[in-house]
Amino acid sequence: MCGIVGGIAQRDITPILLEGLKRLEYRGYDSAGMAVVRTGELQRERALGKVAELEAALTRRRLNGRLGIAHTRWATHGKPSLANAHPHLSSASVAVVHNGIIENFEPLKARLEGQGYRFHSDTDTEVIAHLFDSHYREQHEPRHAQEARDTLLAAFRATLGELHGAYALGLIHRDHPEHLLCARMGSPLVIGVGSGEHFIGSDPLALLQVTDRFIYLEEGDHALMTSHDIVIFDGEQVVEEISSDMPQSPDAGTEQLGAGRRALGARPIIRYEHGSQAANKGDYRHFMLKEIHEQPEVLRDTLADKLTPEGTLLTAVLGPEAAELLPQVRQVQLVACGTSYHAGLVARYWLEALAGVPCSVEVASEFRYRHVAVQPGTLFVTLSQSGETADTLAALRFAKSAGYLATLAICNVPGSSLVRESQLRLMTHAGPEIGVASTKAFTTQLAVLAWLALVLGRQQGRLDDADLAEQVAALQALPEQLRQVLELEPAIAELANGFAEKRHTLFLGRGAHYPVAMEGALKLKEISYIHAEAYAAGELKHGPLALVDDAMPVVTVAPSDTLLEKLKSNLQEVRARGGRLINFVCERAGLVDEEGVRNFPLPKVPELTAPILYSVPLQLLSYHVALVKGTDVDKPRNLAKSVTVE
């Protein structure tokens, strides 16, 4: 999806903007651009395609300035083209970058055209630039610095007041080389706090090369920034005022302001906890591979604040209201998209089996438009890596007034909208996930959901001390078992050589491994572009068996559980039709390699943790198939990392 980076500094801002755009590339985009202000001139450069194209254009025509904004665009209104790339300008004096959708852009455009403005793009964003310009011209000529600031703010507020829809905005004006304006409504935006320089970004990752201190703007906030000061407004009310010469707090986390500064505390500065190296590939060829290999470590980190080494469940991590709410839970509604939805489907098996709590799972894009019948005592749970997925957020906002007991977000990004807008929260500590194909975010979500099932199981009186100890031991053993599974990589890579030729694949699983198969199919589709379908293995003979022949690889997830014998019968059905089987199978399942059957043995693990473990070889399979096919593994075509528009 679109990405924003901007800044006001006392040095040339263009290298910072360019580096920021490179760091946003993982989100998916089709064009990029930059605008800077320099001595009474607004300069802009744009390019279709990769940020590297923009970089090449900037070597031909160098921009230079201390104030600037930049953008990666993922087309919504108007096709990918140079004319539609951001920043958009008005009267050669205003430049705007925008993420989101302006729903009322058509009437605004008609009015502005009537006023004489000429449009050069098909985007909704260009309306914002002209609208600001028209409001700016209504203001009287500023006579001194304070008036200049007031003029900008008045025009900006008048503009925001007319916009319907979702936006994160950055705006600069040729005649105000000291001021950067920004606003957030329905699309994320952070302010990066520097020393003598300040920045904006749609994602903190864009700014980690210059700062690790961020302010997460709230819905409806707008801000005026200079290189020294940041003033954040909610309407006309100042909610935060910050100067960059404030001292740094010795202990990380929320920082205090220096003496004599306003410290309203409404928008705290948060230190980014993962460090700037977290978003680097290191020695790995792709982020996806790095993220697959990080799983033992991040699973341990994710469980660390939820479980003592002795096995006590630390429920306080859910938030202060948890103690009162948990005993009231009678049902659970899980809502998410994509991979996060698959995590929810796995969790249903755990929540019903371990806690005896009825559980429904639904994709957010459907849930948000349904007339739901809410049972008393239903906990509404959203799952999201990013915490900014538009459909999941909309579902949460709907749920808040639909009579649910409480809302809980399970998320990987602490300052995200989903976390901030939910009553309870559980963080996955997966660290930044850059590869578009979700891997470590999925397995850490599963670990958190398994933990939640234990918490509710205990609460409902369904797990005694011995049961709990057994399940906790299973979770604690996971990091080491994952390391063993990762050792399958060379064998899987070898298999991928023959697999890459295939055009269709079936994935089979039963019980909680049916959604694991769904996740395996999604991974293969999104990065290798091979058509893949997942079925509950028992469904084979109800239709999909017709597809099976010797050209069709069938990938099965076959842990040693109560359904293994049934699954083996399903595999016989495939073999009898000449289908080629690739089995990820418990080492003790007794399946042997033969012509057309390849088995990858995994350690025998308890039923609770098997779905987490068996997901990993499927991730490796899709990665290596994509590698053989030569696709863009980390940035597959047509996809974006965080889907912030509907």
Q: How far is the CB of 484 from ligand AGP (least distance, A)?
A: 24
Choosing from 2, 182, 411, 586, the catalytic residue is 2
Instruction: Report the alpha-carbon distance of residue 58 to residue 43 in Å, rounded.
Output: 11
Task: Answer yes or no whether residue 428 interacts with ligand AGP by CB under 6 A.
Answer: no
Burial bucket for residue 371 (CB in 10 Å: 0-12, 13-18, 19+): exposed
Least distance (Å) from ligand AGP to the CB of residue 434?
12
**Residue 442 C-beta: closest distance to ligand AGP, Å:** 8
* Least Cβ distance, residue 477 to ligand AGP (angstroms): 26
Place of tokens 């003029």: 151
For 93, what's the count of Cα atoms within 13 Å in the CB-facing half-sphere?
A: 12
Q: If binding is defined by CB under 6 A, does position 415 make contact with ligand AGP?
A: no
d(C-alpha 169, C-alpha 178), whole Å? 17
Q: Which residues, in sequence order, are bridge partners of residue 186?
A: 167
Give yes or no for residue 84 binding ligand AGP (CB under 6 A).
no
Binders of ligand AGP among residues 366 to 385 (CB under 6 A) are 384-385
Q: Minimal distance in Å, beta carbon 207 to ligand AGP? A: 20
- Structure letter (DSSP) for residue 608: T
CB 510 within 8 A of CB 565: no
Active site annotation includes 359: no
Q: Chain-centre distance of CA 147, in angstroms? A: 40
What are the respective helix, strand and coil percentages of the chain, to the nearest 5? 40, 25, 40
Instruction: Of 251, 232, 242, 215, give the one whose Cα is nearest residue 415.
Output: 215
Nearest residue (CB) to ligand AGP, 221 versus 526: 526
Name the residue with the smallest CB distance to ligand AGP.
Answer: 338
Residue 37 sits in the site that holds ligand AGP (CB under 6 A): no
Rounded least distance, CB 636 to ligand AGP, Å: 8
Binding residues for ligand AGP, rule CB under 6 A, total 15
CB of 311 to ligand AGP, least distance (A): 29
Residue 411 CB, nearest distance to ligand AGP (Å)? Answer: 8
182 is known as an active-site residue? no
Q: Please give the Cα distance from 376 to 350 (Å, whole number).
A: 21
Q: Which residues contact 469 (CB under 8 A, 6 or more apart)?
A: 311
Identify which of residues 72 and 445 has a Cβ nearer to ligand AGP in the complex.
445
Please give the distance of CA 81 from its chain centroid, rounded to a whole number: 26
What is the pattern of x (binds ligand AGP, CB under 6 A) and - over residues 87-126? ----------------------------------------
Q: How many CA atoms, within 13 angstroms, populate the side-chain half-sphere of residue 197?
A: 19
For ligand AGP, the binding residues in 604-643 under the rule CB under 6 A are 642-643
User: Do the bridges between strand 190-193 and strand 198-201 make them parallel or antiparallel, or are there none, so unpaired?
Assistant: antiparallel
What's the angle, vertex CA 220, arms to CA 216 and CA 226, rounded to 5?
Answer: 60
Judged by CB under 6 A, which stretch of 436-444, 450-458, 543-551, 624-632 contacts ligand AGP?
A: 436-444
The binding track of 333-362 with respect to ligand AGP, each residue x by CB under 6 A or -, is: ----xxxx----------------------
Sheet holding 165-173, edge to edge: 88-90, 94-102, 165-173, 180-185, 221-225, 229-234, 237-243
342 vs 580, which CB is nearer to ligand AGP?
Answer: 342
Adjacent-strand bridge partners of 237: 234
DSSP classification of residue 577 = T
Which is nearer to ligand AGP, 246 or 346 (by Cβ)? 346
- Angle (CA) 76 106 125, round 5°: 45
Does 386 bind ligand AGP (CB under 6 A)? Our answer is yes
Q: Which stretch binds ligand AGP (CB under 6 A): 306-314, 434-442, 477-485, 606-614?
A: 434-442
**Exactly one of 109, 290, 306, 641 is catalytic; which is it?**
641
What is the distance in angstroms between the CA of the first residue and the CA of the last residue of the chain?
A: 11
443 contacts ligand AGP (rule: CB under 6 A)? no
Which of the residues 519 through 558 are near ligand AGP (CB under 6 A)? 526
Site residues, ligand AGP (CB under 6 A):
337-340, 384-386, 389, 392, 436-438, 526, 642-643
So which residues are the catalytic ones? 2, 641
